[in-house]
């Protein structure tokens, strides 16, 4: 995978940061995207200090212009695009369906679903135009959720709907580009130790113990476990896998 190029969105923390570091350790040149410029540059500096190569591009997933500029920057800087991990997402605020605001819905669907559609649109075009898809194949991994395959009293209508949509986008895109040598898959994490859970974890060991029960494995999923799954799906070891949604959720879906 050395000298390949990957775009990773939502890269400044959690699953995105873990994915950036893991890809860079494999010799992949990473183009990191997020809204937080300072954190993004710090991550790039850290990756370079460890012998990796990467750049950071500030991008908001609600902006088509930003998404197009992100892909253009990857091509301008490295001349190709081999992989993408679309991790950027927002949870939305916890409101019941009958009180759920249009603004809340539009924010979550805009980032998690429309933003992902636009990422796929420009990433696939770049993979085809740069020739990466014809030189050993290209791969895209979309970060969905175990909530893309079930409902939960701990979620909200927009987040669950958006993650179901991510899986649908993944399957349809995989069918459309399977003959063009681009594999497109999803990873479905369960409750994961990220910034989203940090306020709850800070409330004490009793709250963490309760969170640990969400995943039947009895603990939170670590970001690097999700990153490892994304790397596998981009590797030649997964050359026969496309349109798949890989659970990394400690057995949640096995109980359904």
Q: Which residues contact 207 (CB under 8 A, 6 or more apart)?
A: 200, 201
**C-beta of residue 235 within 8 angstroms of C-beta of residue 1:** yes
φ, ψ at 12 (rounded to 5°): -85, -5
Catalytic residues: 159
Question: Do residues 186 and 143 touch, judged by C-beta distance below 8 A?
Answer: yes
Whole-angstrom distance, CA of residue 173 vs CA of residue 120: 8
What is the longest distance spanned by two Cα atoms in the chain?
A: 52
Q: Is the dihedral of CA 105, 140, 72, 180 positive or negative?
A: negative
CA–CA dist 229, 232 (Å, integer): 5
Other Cβ atoms closer than 10 A to 18: 23
Which residues on adjacent β-strands are paired with residue 32? 8, 56
H-helix or E-strand spanning residue 55: strand 54-58
Q: Are 146 and 199 in contact (CB under 8 A)?
A: no
Pairing of strands 54-58, 83-86: unpaired
């Amino acid at each position: 995978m050395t000298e390949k190029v990957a775009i990773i969105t939502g890269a400044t923390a959690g699953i995105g940061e873990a994915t950036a570091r893991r890809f860079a350790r494999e010799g992949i040149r990473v183009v990191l995207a997020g809204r937080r410029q300072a954190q993004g540059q710090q991550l790039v500096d850290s990756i370079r200090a460890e012998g990796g190569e990467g750049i950071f591009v500030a991008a908001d997933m609600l902006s088509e212009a930003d998404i197009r500029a992100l892909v253009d920057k990857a091509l301008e800087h490295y001349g190709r695009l081999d992989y993408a991990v679309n991790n950027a997402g927002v949870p939305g605020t916890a409101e019941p369906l009958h009180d759920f605001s249009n603004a809340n819905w539009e924010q979550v669907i805009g980032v998690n679903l429309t933003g992902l559609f636009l990422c796929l649109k420009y990433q696939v075009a770049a993979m085809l135009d740069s020739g990466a898809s014809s030189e050993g194949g290209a791969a895209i991994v979309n970060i969905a959720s175990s909530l893309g395959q079930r409902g939960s009293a701990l979620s909200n209508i927009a987040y669950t709907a958006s993650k179901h949509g991510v899986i649908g986008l993944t399957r349809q895109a995989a069918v459309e580009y399977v003959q063009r040598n681009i594999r497109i898959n999803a990873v479905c994490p369960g409750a994961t130790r990220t910034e989203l859970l940090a306020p709850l974890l800070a409330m004490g060991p009793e709250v963490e113990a309760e969170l640990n029960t969400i995943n039947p494995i009895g603990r939170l999923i670590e970001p690097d476990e999700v990153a490892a799954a994304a790397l596998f799906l981009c590797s030649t070891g997964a050359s026969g896998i496309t349109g798949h949604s890989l659970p990394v959720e400690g057995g949640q879906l096995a109980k359904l």
